[in-house]
Amino acid sequence: MVDRKSEMIRKMLMTPDLEQSKAALKEDPENPELWYQLGMAVGTAEGAEASIDVFSRGLTLNPFNAPLYFGRGRKNIGLRKYDRAIADATMAIRLEPDIWTYWYYRAVPRNLSGDAKGALEDFMQCFRMTPENEHYPLVDWMFLCCLDMGDMQKAKEILNLIDTSMEPHHCMDYAYRRRIRLYKGEIDPENMIDKDDILANAYITQPGRMQLETETLTFGLFAYYTYTGNTEKANETLKTIASFKPSAAFGYLKGSAIARERGLLA
């Protein structure tokens, strides 16, 4: 039996060759797995819009394929098309409700679109569906939802849901663990972004991953300063985030949007 959770992690991390993906699909033009692979390959080569087009064409042939909805929804997040991302994730959930990754990628655009309460509910669903060593990103996001709602007491309670001495399930969760340690006072903000530590412990084999980790950690600093009531440092950090090269990183999307809302951008 295929482990669907492991299968989704594989799909998220795959970097298929574009020409090989096209050739494979030509031999089997209705195969949803091959449409997914092509969507990922096109996304790397041509960008999110082209990737979305591939996933959509795959869905015309496979309208009940959850991974294709999931793939398209993820790409819509990076384009700030949050309603579309939520709709696609909802379809994936209805088709395969036991895959927690789908709940996660509905919760993220719900948070980014301003629906902190709805996002918190989805992240809690993920929390119930996953083992402890996969809880770092969930606790971090639930903490952020509480900050968005202005509920600092609830945010503190959320942090108590995880023991940071536990090793994460995957090195992709490096930044989330480090951010939670910052929120708990186990790391000083001045030492938060440590390139050597990132190189030693984070998942940096994908192109641009070092920048992604840096952006994620930087947003963690903003959250920390918000949590501790240091508005001046929080705003300085938002300006730093907004100065990064535009990307689909959640930290950049959320941080730059808040900076814009606060009138911090020139």
Please tell me the predicted confidence (pLDDT) of residue 73.
Answer: 97
> For 226-235, how does the pLDDT look when each residue is reduced to its tens digit (9 = 90+)?
999 999 999 9
pLDDT tens, position by position, 34-52 = 999 999 999 999 999 999 9
Cβ atoms of 126 and 111 closer than 8 Å: no
Mean pLDDT (whole number) for 137-151 = 97
Among residues of the chain, what percentage have pLDDT more than 70? 95
Cβ(185)–Cβ(223) under 8 Å? no
Tens digit of each residue's pLDDT (9 = 90 or more) over 75-133: 999 999 999 999 999 999 999 999 999 999 999 999 999 999 999 999 999 999 999 99
Whether 8 shows a pLDDT value over 90: the answer reads: no
pLDDT, position 258: 96
Q: What is the mean pLDDT of the chain?
A: 92
Q: Which residue has the tokens 């992690």?
A: 9
Q: How confident is the model at residue 209 (pLDDT cuts 50, 70, 90)?
A: confident
Provide the 10 A C-beta neighbour count for residue 206: 12
What is the token pair recorded at 35?
A: 């449409």
Instruction: Round to whole Å and give the CA distance between 200 and 187.
Output: 17
Task: Indicate whether 143 pLDDT > 70.
Answer: yes
Query: pTM of this prediction?
Result: 0.91
- The pLDDT value recorded for residue 227 is 98
> CA-CA distance, 106 to 205, in Å (whole number)?
26
Q: Which has the higher per-residue pLDDT, 143 or 2?
A: 143
Q: Work out the average pLDDT over 139-162.
A: 97
pLDDT recorded at residue 1: 38
Residue 265: pLDDT band (50, 70, 90) is confident
Q: Above 80 in pLDDT, residue 144?
A: yes
Give the residue among 146, 140, 113, 114 at the shortest CA–CA distance from 126: 140
